[in-house]
A and B are shown apart, each in its own frame.
Chain A
Amino acid sequence: MANDISNRNLSPLSLHVPEPKFRPGDAVDYSDVEIQKAGDQARPDVSTKPAAMRDLAYDLIRVLDDDHKAVGPWDPKLDDDTLLKMLKTMAQLRAFDDRLHRQQRQGKTSFYMKSTGEEATSVAAAMALDAEDMCFPSYRQQGILFVRGYPMVDMVNQIFSNKADKLKGRQLPIMYSSTRLNFFTVSGNLTTQYPQAVGWAMASASKGDNRIAAVWCGEGSTAEGDFHAALTFAAVYNAPVIMNIVNNQWAISSFSGFAGAERTTFAARGVGYGIAALRVDGNDPLAVYAATQWAAERARTNQGPTVIEHFTYRADAHSTSDDPTAYRSAQEREEWPLGDPIMRLKRHLITRGVWSVEQQEALDVECVEAVKVAVKEAAKNGILGHGLHQPFETMFQDVFEEMPWHLREQADQADKERDIKWPS
């Protein structure tokens, strides 16, 4: 009988459920993680066909070598001032993250997410873009705002959901938005920004504009259907978009294996769609800058989209609601073979002779002070939990352009309740 499978003499099928190499308490050994030699990667012309540059999706573009020197064809040859600005921006971002994380711990706000260890993937990338290019970030690219000069006090106002919060207390902390700085409103729904960025880029192309779009998601989010839709659309319409995948190894408690990392790289996803794909040392700010610059030039000259995988490590907890000691070895961060992006750039600048340990110490103090000032300034506008900072009417505004009758009625109800719940 054709469908009698009892005599096929097969061992039973087994389901493979990925497991990270190290769990809490385990000794970490990264010796099997292949770290390519800096400077070894070829830099193809921006007009190269995706099929002719597949190797770069499996390689690792690196510029800073073990002696902290910038080497190889991907060296963007940035001047000292640009590099110092990059260093200072990343340092400021880290100081901001540390302080705002503590503000949450002190109960001044409900939530925070740091980007510790991943500063290069937003700061260096944003520096390689034009200010007019549209960024579609996930929730861990606050570095873009630092590059584009968003005032820290406005960020803290949003985090505190206070009366000066430009988003009127409607959004969870860190879900920033700025049309002025071309920073698209951050959504809690993962990867929705991916097809949106492609659509924005398609619009720019259809209008004969010169602006391009850049979008970010984590490696975990690449499993979402929107990721597939976005890459398909980007390829089909040759959209001028840079699609960044920040592979920080962890999606909350799930290691990258649950997004498919056991079999291939995330950059290789682009290869299957016929999209140029680069895999980059995400802790090497010069490599991130160079890759973004390459992809931006490609997009701006009508040569289509690029996928960039930034290979990095989420050095801290997923969020203030997360405790990574419950699922991963604390040693991972210390042993991470690509080090720390700020330290690496610092050493490079010291090696260049334009920076010193003392200057770095002074910078760190300066950054901490600047955040303190911003937090203090923002706190004058109130902190979450201390009173009701927004008029209740604002809860009903902007659902639609004009408030329909049913929201008007509900707004009146809320106002009435206010008098009862919080008599003045």
Chain B
Amino acid sequence: MRDKTMTAAEVAAQVADGMTVGIGGWGSRRKPMALVQALLDSPVRGLTVVSYGGPEVGMLCAAGKVAELVYGFVSLDTIPYDPNFQRARQSGQIAVRELDEGMLHCGLQAAAHRLPFLPIRAGLGSDVLRLNPGLKTIRSPYGGEELVAMPALELDVALIHLNRADRHGNGQYLGPDPYFDDLFCLAAKHRFLSCERIVPTAELIAGGPPQSLLTNRLMVDGVVEAPGGAGFTSCVPDYERDESAQRRYYEAAIS
């Protein structure tokens, strides 16, 4: 089996200007911050970022990497708003496609299933349709209900962080929530997983129930060992969010 181990810098080198990058995790939870840092350290620009947004969105905006953001929200969880994201929005620095968070899920699902769209009720009646004139509705051929035709959110690159993985791309989450990391991988052409620890495959099986094996080999192209690689966001049970580090990020961003 292929050895897919690589460095975070090697991951960043595969991200080209203008690509669409999906980032796993949720808010300030299990974000692939080591991979994001590698993007910040690289010269890449003009990215379209798709995310349940946390501090990585603010950081990428502050570094001028983001041309467009596709999101339902951006939050630091214990701090409601990310100041760097606010500044990027309030200065008109980035284009946005703001969606209901269920629509984001739906668009990733459509891409994962290689469908052009999936119907969803969320968005109807709200300004999501007014603010995204590219979004179309579709009438059910069985009885006529009108629904949003959520287009597939096809990604060039997916970046996720898990607790454990083997060197072939079998990945494991050990906390209570998988978030949508598997879906980000299935929606993307190039999929990179960082993890707290690379372990032999047998250790994955010993380390948690079969349901904890979130990614398999066909969903992952590169594996990066990055202990602490989600920090300062949470990566339970390995570590909780580093609230004081997050607070320092916040203070630096507002000053």
Partners in one complex: no
Residues of B within 8 A of A (CB): none
Residues of A within 8 A of B (CB): none
